[in-house]
Amino acid sequence: MSNEPQPEDGPGGASASGGQPGDPLWRDEFPLTSEGEDYVARRDFTRYLIAASGVFAAGAVGAGTWATMQRANTGEPRPIIKEADIPEDGEYLFKYPGDDDPAILVKLPNGDLRAFTQKCTHLGCVVYYKPEEATLYCPCHHGFFDPDSGAATAGPPDRPLAAIDVEVRGDTVWALGIET
């Protein structure tokens, strides 16, 4: 029987600290077996999956919160006009919720006030009040809306105008926010 070191034993020869006889020296310093390597790999992969799930969950919650905030961002309460200054025809155009957002205030024949975004829900033209026909009218493609509810009543539009909550405070009409 030869005492010559085997090629795999390296310069120190066979394991000196508990390895199996014939194991290469590197086994002492890196004592993982292939089974252990599989275990580590699975464990790391599981950690990765958990971390990735956490990131996706946090992203979904963040996106949902952002979407909710966007929906909730429907304008701050703001005075529109003194009620006595509403024109005779019952229509007053203003901007709401932003300075570039056209809106329309309507004083119905019974004195009730309604307000809507002025953008037609068909293709975005502006709508006007036609008191003589008791309708809101979009001239682009002859769309009609109910000035009481904002519901589409005729023509291409199939969705109601977005309503703006209004309230009279003292002698002034206020916009409170877009209804969602």
The site for ligand FES (CB under 6 A) is made up of 120, 122-123, 125, 138, 140-141, 143, 155-157
The nearer residue to ligand FES, 150 or 177, going by C-beta atoms, is 150
Nearer to ligand FES (CB atom), residue 83 or residue 130: 130
The least CB distance from residue 139 to ligand FES, in Å, is 8
Q: What are phi and psi of 143, to 5 degrees?
A: -95, 145
Compute the distance between CA of residue 112 and CA of residue 92 in angstroms, rounded to an integer: 14
Judged by beta carbon, residue 25 or residue 136, the one nearer ligand FES is: 136
Give the chain's count of helices (H) and strands (E).
2, 10
Q: How far is the CB of 151 from ligand FES (least distance, A)?
A: 14
86 versus 126: smaller Cβ distance to ligand FES: 126
Burial class (CB in 10 A: 0-12, 13-18, 19+), 21: exposed
User: Considering the complex, what minimum distance in angstroms separates the CB of residue 152 from ligand FES?
Assistant: 9
Closest approach of Cβ 48 to ligand FES, in Å? 51
Closest contact distance (angstroms) between CB of 113 and ligand FES is 23
Tell me whether residue 24 or residue 156 sits nearer to ligand FES (CB atom): 156
Residues 146-166, buried b or exposed e (16+ Cβ, 10 A)? bbeebebeebebeebbbbbeb
- Give CA–CA dist 5/22, Å, rounded: 9
Rg (CA), the chain: 37
